[in-house]
Chain A
Amino acid sequence: NAGVTQTPKFQVLKTGQSMTLQCAQDMNHEYMSWYRQDPGMGLRLIHYSVGAGITDQGEVPNGYNVSRSTTEDFPLRLLSAAPSQTSVYFCASSVTGENTEAFFGQGTRLTVV
């Protein structure tokens, strides 16, 4: 039962570097999303996708790009990392995205120095 798999679990980046956080799900869910968790802020939605080829912005999209070429994969790209992007990132998937429970990955702890 893989569910939602995120890689890597930990990452340290230097300011200005780029990287891709990987997310894959094996539940054939149409809806996938990326959140960041910061102390006192809860989880904030970065980007989401309602199906392959369709993506949209969430609450805090600046500095991040996404694509959805397959149902299974939803990578998150940091184009030029900034210290403000230090956070824990969670990928989630659900059947439809509305009124259904989300399944989360274990998270990626990112530090930008």
Chain B
Amino acid sequence: DQQVKQNSPSLSVQEGRISILNCDYTNSMFDYFLWYKKYPAEGPTFLISISSIKDKNEDGRFTVFLNKSAKHLSLHIVPSQPGDSAVYFCAASPEGRFGAGTRLTVKP
């Protein structure tokens, strides 16, 4: 059973615009969420995280929003840059559950 779901396999945005990547989860025991970025032929790298006691965490161009009642989180990238083109994974702790990933393409 997929306890962490990323329902959009891909997303394409124009450079300079906002990218919004979504993630849903089913297990209410999850209390910490992370986003990872993955380039081809590399391992995932940590991007940003959020604790369940918060509803927003910001780090430069990256902001993660958490809606606990809806069991939904989203990653906003503003402004998007071509170098942001990668696969983004949502993950939930404990248990180390990952979503299937969303491939983001930022067009110049």
Contacts and interface: CB of A to CB of B under 8 A. Distances in A.
Contacts of B96: 33, 35, 45, 48, 58, 97, 102
A101 B97 contact: no
B34 A101 contact: yes
Contacts of A4: 43
* Contact-size category for B: 20 to 34
Interface residues of A, number: 24
A113 B25 CA distance: 35
Interface stretch (A61-69, A70-78, A104-112): A104-112
Contact of A107 (B32, B34, B43, B98): B43
Contacts of A44: 98
Contacts of A42: 2, 4, 6, 89, 98-101
Interface stretch (B11-19, B45-53, B63-71, B76-84): B45-53
Interface of A: 4, 33, 35, 40-45, 48, 58-59, 90, 92, 97-99, 101-107
13 contacts: A33-B96, A35-B98, A42-B6, A42-B89, A43-B89, A43-B98, A48-B96, A92-B43, A98-B32, A99-B94, A101-B34, A102-B44, A103-B46
